Amino acid sequence: MTPDPGDGLTRLVHRVVEVDVGPQTRFDQGRLTVSVEAASACLADPALAEVRLSWASPGQSARIVKVLDAVEPRTKGPGGGGIFAGFVGPERVGGRGSTHVLRGAAVVAAGYLPRAQEALIEMSGPAAALSPFGATHNLVVEFTPADGAPWEDVDRALRRGVLQLATHLADAAIESPPDAEEHFPAPPPAGAGNGRRRVGAVTNLQTQGTFKDVFVYGRSFSGGLPTLIDPGELDDGAVVSGQFGHPSLKNPTFMHQNHPVVAALRARHGRDLDFAGVCISPEPVVAGHKELVSAHAARLCAAAGWDAAILTKEGGGNADADVALKMDALEDAGVTAVGLFAEMAGPDGTGPPIVVAPERATAMVSTGNYDERLVLPAVERALGGDRVALLDQPATDELALPIAVVYCALSPLGWGHLTCAPEAASETTPVTEAISQ
């Protein structure tokens, strides 16, 4: 059956295979040229004294340090056409019609902000494959705050500017024929699935105050209650990250736009299951609030007729409790639950893998061990800063670090291929060898 274009979202995919700078921002047959002048204008703000833009591409001897957020260039029409509603577009519900996507490119903000933890992207070498941004052409935005500007204003200016820049880049492709079209129907209502099981995604957003916050339609989601959201809205940038802790366990805006669990459920929709939709929930800091939002999310999913849910988190430690509480609450409500967790088993892998584990819903997927040690070879060029804060070493040095520092390496949304297994039982290749192949 031909999909009704009014129902759901179509991605018009333009593949970026080459990047450059030039007098005008344009996209032509896979080649994305950026005008530094026009791009810098997207970031004009009283809180920013200066911004510097440069490309970092796969295979280069380059490292990005102090990574803050990453955004995939997208637009729905000239000026954005409603993309990133609440930041670039007006506050209107998105997720329908068509959206241009510059696949293979990202806008990456990098530099110092308070509370931000050191985060690295390697553009080559053994750790490049550990981050989604080791394989994208990254337009890196470095910045100098204006004298006396409050850090909160710098953070706000940067977020809005990076989203505007991502829109500006995608706008250049509006006239180009897409390389591919991907159509995703909206989730069907309960009872429409011919007996197939209804499976949804519950996505916790780390909402713990300024510099550790996530925005939905331009507003902080701190203090909110769980809500159902159409997966197409994620595609159109309804969820934007302002969360700079736990680099390997972070969900940048890019990952919400390309939510891996949503992608996996879309891929099986209408065959093994019916994709029932997405429930987003805050991750509060107070235990009582964690219990409240967990019970609330479970009730929502049950009311929406879900048979099962896949739960994801953002951040370490206390964020495990948010997943565990929701998993148990869902099971109690008759909804089968599976949670994604990174393990924190210590460098030797012998510690308890999870900080707070579910008691009744015990199906868990591992995204790898946070404490796994890596050695990253020296590089020719570093962006984002001169030094690596964590080690107080020049950013171009050979670095010995835990995988916890590699941006999105243990992606709680399920992007990566890492897992953990008991030493003796495993027959697959150890990670340190496998990633360097």
Partner 1 sequence: MSRIVHYINQFFAGVGGEDSAGTPPTSRPEPVGPGRRLSQLIGPEHEVVATVFCGDDHASSDPAVIAEILEQIRAAEPDLVVAGPAFTSGRYGLACARVAAAATAAGIPVVAAMHPDNPGLDEAGGAPVVESGEVARQMGPSLDRLAAAVRRMLAGEMLTADDGRIGAVPRRSRVADHDAATRAVDLVLTRLGGDRDATEVPLPRFDRVTPAAPATDLSSATVALVTESALVPDDNPDHLESARATKWLRYSLDGRDTLASGDWRSVHGGFSTVWANEDPHRLLPLDVARQLQGEGAIGDLHPAYLVTAGNGTSVGNARRFGIEWAADLRHSEVRAAILTAT
- Using the minimum distance from each CB to partner 1, give the nearer residue, 164 or 203: 203
Which of 254, 260, 247 lies closest to 403, judged by CA? 247
In whole angstroms, how close is the CB of 229 to partner 1 at the nearest point? 17
In whole angstroms, how close is the CB of 397 to partner 1 at the nearest point? 17
- Using the minimum distance from each CB to partner 1, give the nearer residue, 118 or 171: 118
- Using the minimum distance from each CB to partner 1, give the nearer residue, 80 or 277: 277
The terminus-to-terminus CA distance of the chain in angstroms comes to 43
Instruction: Return the SS3 of 227.
Output: strand
And the tokens for 62? 């380059």
Instruction: Return the SS3 of 399.
Output: strand
Nearest 5°: CA angle at 371, between 293 and 387? 100
Distance in angstroms (rounded) separating the CA atoms of residues 101 and 112: 29
Nearest 5°: CA angle at 142, between 63 and 396? 25
Q: In this structure, which amino acid lies at residue 279? A: C
Q: In this structure, which amino acid lies at residue 97? A: G
In whole angstroms, how close is the CB of 308 to partner 1 at the nearest point? 5
In whole angstroms, how close is the CB of 112 to partner 1 at the nearest point? 14
- Using the minimum distance from each CB to partner 1, give the nearer residue, 90 or 270: 270
Q: Which residues of 26-41 are buried (b: 16+ CB within 10 A; e: fewer)?
A: bbeeeebbbbbeebbe
In whole angstroms, how close is the CB of 435 to partner 1 at the nearest point? 7
Residues contacting residue 223 through CB under 8 Å, at least 6 positions apart: 207, 282, 284
In whole angstroms, how close is the CB of 175 to partner 1 at the nearest point? 34
And the tokens for 3? 């999909």
Distance in angstroms (rounded) separating the CA atoms of residues 206 and 293: 13
In whole angstroms, how close is the CB of 329 to partner 1 at the nearest point? 16
- Using the minimum distance from each CB to partner 1, give the nearer residue, 81 or 132: 132
In whole angstroms, how close is the CB of 364 to partner 1 at the nearest point? 4
- Using the minimum distance from each CB to partner 1, give the nearer residue, 280 or 435: 435
Q: Which residues lie across from 341 on neighbouring strands? A: 366
- Using the minimum distance from each CB to partner 1, give the nearer residue, 3 or 352: 352
Q: Which residues of 83-120 are buried (b: 16+ CB within 10 A; e: fewer)?
A: bbbbbbbeeeebbbbbbbbbbbbbbbbbbebeebbbbb
- Using the minimum distance from each CB to partner 1, give the nearer residue, 39 or 401: 401
Distance in angstroms (rounded) separating the CA atoms of residues 230 and 222: 20
